[in-house]
Amino acid sequence: MKINNFGPSGVNPYKRQMNKLENTVKSANKAADKVEISTTAKEMQQVSQYTNARQEKVEKLKIQVENGTYKVNPKEVAKSLIDFYKK
């Protein structure tokens, strides 16, 4: 008994693998991710004069706290708390 064409005939598994690789490369090129930053976000990233002034104020307060010369005004704190919770 003679058996001819054992297994799938006319199919080259190596060629099939190459076709899969080519398809994945083509699909990867089509679907590229893109990120855009708005002008508002760009403005927020820039260092402003307010940041520098705030940093100076924080440094002064830090020195006062370390020296023990920082005094809290309880009336202003109470007023701020009331204003915060009224909103």
pTM of the model: 0.38
pLDDT average per 10 residues of sequence, the chain (87 residues): 61 70 67 81 74 88 94 94 92
Give the model's pLDDT for residue 29: 58
> Cβ distance 55 to 63 under 8 Å?
no
> Cβ distance 59 to 68 under 8 Å?
no
Give the model's pLDDT for residue 19: 75
> Cβ distance 73 to 67 under 8 Å?
no
Give the model's pLDDT for residue 28: 57
